Amino acid sequence: MHAPTLRDVYRAKKTIAPHIDRTPLHYSSGLSELLEAEVYLKHEEYLPLGAFKGRGGINLLANMTDEEKERGLITASSGNHGQSMANACRMFGAKAIIGLPKDANPNKVAAMRSLGAEIIFHGADFDSARMHCEQIAKEEGYRFVHPVNDPLLISGVGTQALETVEDLPDVQVLMLPLGGGSGVSGACIVAKGIDPSIEVLAVQSEQAPAAYQSWKQGEIVEAEMNTVAEGIATRVGYELAQSIMRDLLDDFLLVSDDEIHRAIGTLVDKAHTLAEGAGATALAGAIKYPGKVKGKKVAITISGGNITADQLRQSLEVYQG
């Protein structure tokens, strides 16, 4: 399993271009004033599936053999990766089976079903569902797609960082949320491949710190997972993303779930932007650690906008309280 290169990301850009439009990078005057920086938002929530993951699914399916598509795919997800795989399988004529934790976001579940995926609920969290799906793949002969440890997924989602640098060539800081690490590791490959002075900062909930601890300790770590932000709710680090970040990531920041809630409210109030928990996590990092961005040209990734009405209500109560 090799780490993708900048060339792989450019190749992925060409592969997905017929299927996915570029997402906008918008200057935010409200956030720029708040953070005393020049702040731009990369709006991945504008994509048809409402999240950045759709890029990786298309890149993966476009590069699979007919025999693999015929066998069918099985994967696990907290929601957005599952939507990506369901959509790509529908596009390329492959069977999709998605394993989800029992309390998965109902909006994301409905979206996956509408895209034709077979849904399996198992366990209390994403990693329980993942291990169950790995076992089914061995027993039934399906192609198991790991949601992070796949070079085609990482190079696919890395195209969002490539678009950012193309649209803002003098960007100084890329801030992204981190769950498993595909988006951050893709951004590292792009930023350091184009200009090593571009800083890449990852932000994760302190209530799901496995990837942070894995990065800090230099080995794969499992940790408790209690975050409400299902898009970053992992309880173990993943090898491929960690190997890339170990070499290329500039810093890794932790925020609380309440800080994520407040960031959701801040995006509504200051940037007229609707984000899910994972989608607001990078901004939460910028707000908590203002010294990381002050006076700089910063691109903050809004990775997804698949938030339920109840989640939004809870976040606005925290923000206003």
- Domain harbouring 292, CATH code: 3.40.50.1100
Question: Where among 107, 124, 148 does a domain terminate?
Answer: 148
Question: Where among 115, 148, 181 does a domain terminate?
Answer: 148
Does 78 score more than 90 pLDDT?
Answer: no
Question: Where among 148, 173, 202 does a domain terminate?
Answer: 148
Same domain for 93 and 215, yes or no, is no
The confidence score (pLDDT) of residue 91 equals: 96
Average of pLDDT values for 27-49? 97
Same domain for 304 and 168, yes or no, is yes
**Of the candidates 50, 99, 108, which has an alpha carbon nearest to the alpha carbon of residue 79?**
108
Question: By residue range, what is the domain housing residue 75?
Answer: 54-148
Same domain for 305 and 190, yes or no, is yes
Domain count within the chain: 2
Average of pLDDT values for 39-46? 98
Rg (alpha carbons) of the chain, rounded to whole number = 18
Same domain for 60 and 73, yes or no, is yes
Tokens coding 89: 């399988």
Within a domain: 255: yes
Average of pLDDT values for 266-282? 98
Tokens coding 202: 């990852």
Does 319 score more than 90 pLDDT?
Answer: yes
Same domain for 124 and 105, yes or no, is yes
Strands 25-27 and 38-43: antiparallel
Same domain for 189 and 200, yes or no, is yes
CA gap 81, 231 in Å, rounded: 9
CA gap 56, 78 in Å, rounded: 15
Same domain for 258 and 290, yes or no, is yes
Length of the chain: 321
Within a domain: 80: yes
Same domain for 174 and 257, yes or no, is yes
Does 1 score more than 80 pLDDT?
Answer: no
Maximum separation of any 2 CA atoms in the chain, in Å = 55
Phi, psi of 301 (to 5 degrees): -85, 125
pTM score: 0.95
CA gap 165, 168 in Å, rounded: 5
Same domain for 156 and 143, yes or no, is no
Average of pLDDT values for 176-190? 97
Contact predicate 292/286, CB 8 Å: yes
Same domain for 196 and 215, yes or no, is yes
pLDDT tens, position by position, 106-136: 999 999 999 999 999 999 988 899 999 999 9
Same domain for 162 and 33, yes or no, is yes
Does 35 score more than 80 pLDDT?
Answer: yes
Within a domain: 1: no
Within a domain: 290: yes
